Amino acid sequence: MSVLVVGSIAYDTVETPYGSVKDSLGGSALYFSAAASFFDAVNVVGVVGSDFDASKISFLKKRGVNFDGLYVESGDTFRWGGRYHRDLNQRDTLFTYLNVFENFQPKIPAQYREADYVFLANIDPTLQLQVLDQIKNPKLVVLDTMNFWISGKREMLEKVIHHCDILILNDQEARELSDEPNLIRAIKKIANEGAKPKILIVKKGEHGAVLYQKNQFFFVPAYPLDRVIDPTGAGDSFAGGFLGYIAREQNLQAKTLKRALVYGSAIASFNVQDFSFNHLISLKFSELEERFREFKKLTMF
């Protein structure tokens, strides 16, 4: 089995109360891959500019991440700059230079088109739909999005949602998409809106995450960290751990989904303990397993 991800590859400039990095490796497709590759092979589709230093992603290649779908276009790689406040839940975007990403038309290489597990990272829903049109018969499509598309391209987004099996949102996005201030009702409404009920995951930052499927809620707290260095990539590494685990287990039983949510939370908690991929690069699977077990202690009674 393998997992296909279509998303951004970026150079991030990030300031947090603990320091800053300039033009460090980032992007949803890479954070997802770094996490999912703990469990399964990953195929990436994305675009970079001619300024991209391919040696930066060699650590991912060594872990079984395949970059046959990485297109190099003339121009600069996508760049994002952000500043996190003392309260890391607050951040300002300082700049967004789409560069080569502006004209990205995802072309799925032939050998990826029979993908079973697909992650549509947060990009324009029009592109997400183009990706789905090229995949033959996926077992599971997981969709991420953001408030920008909910308010700006709602109709197109709803089309994509119609074709996905699992939708990942944060709590504010869930409230906005459903127009419901009560998060529980928001989740039920979104999950039951289409022709077939969706599995919904809502990320709540420092408050953890919740999974909803078949009228059952499952809650996982955020791993208690007294120092978050850089929250960038938390959502995508979470999604990578989640879908990577499912791809390895090859089933959608409630037990698998719950454990996948915990693995996603565990990897995200490592990711935010340092800038960029600094922590995920050296993370060992045994450390991940250990943190998975710690999550049990956090909620068992």
Is residue 227 near a copy of itself by the rule CB under 8 A? yes
* Residue carrying structure tokens 């928001």: 186
Q: Does 62 bind a copy of itself (CB under 8 A)?
A: no
Whose structure tokens read 């320091």? Answer: 19
**Greatest Cα pair distance in the chain:** 57
Q: How far is the CB of 14 from a copy of itself (least distance, A)?
A: 18
Q: Give 133 or 226: the residue with its C-beta nearer to a copy of itself.
A: 226
Nearest Cα residue to 46 out of 88, 99, 86: 99
Q: Is 187 helix (H, G, I), strand (E, B) or coil?
A: helix
Residue 217 is a binding residue for a copy of itself (CB under 8 A)? yes
Establish if 233 lies at the interface with a copy of itself (CB under 8 A): no
Q: Which residues of 172-200 are buried (b: 16+ CB within 10 A; e: fewer)?
A: bbbbbbbebeebeebbbbbbeeeeeebbb
Q: Are 177 and 204 in contact (CB under 8 A)?
A: no
Q: By CB under 8 A, is residue 301 in contact with a copy of itself?
A: yes
Buried b (16+ CB within 10 A) or exposed e, 16-48: beeeebeebbbbbbbbbbbbbbbbbebbbbbbb
Q: Which of 87, 95, 105, 284 binds a copy of itself (CB under 8 A)?
A: 87
CB of 190 to a copy of itself, least distance (A): 12
Q: Which of 182, 192, 250, 282 forms a contact with a copy of itself (CB under 8 A)?
A: 182
Q: Which of 204, 249, 273, 278 binds a copy of itself (CB under 8 A)?
A: 204
Task: Specify the residue, 79 or 188, whose C-beta has the smaller distance to a copy of itself.
Answer: 188
Task: By CB under 8 A, name the binding residues for a copy of itself.
Answer: 85-89, 181-185, 188, 204, 206-208, 210, 216-221, 224-228, 255, 258-259, 261-262, 295-301
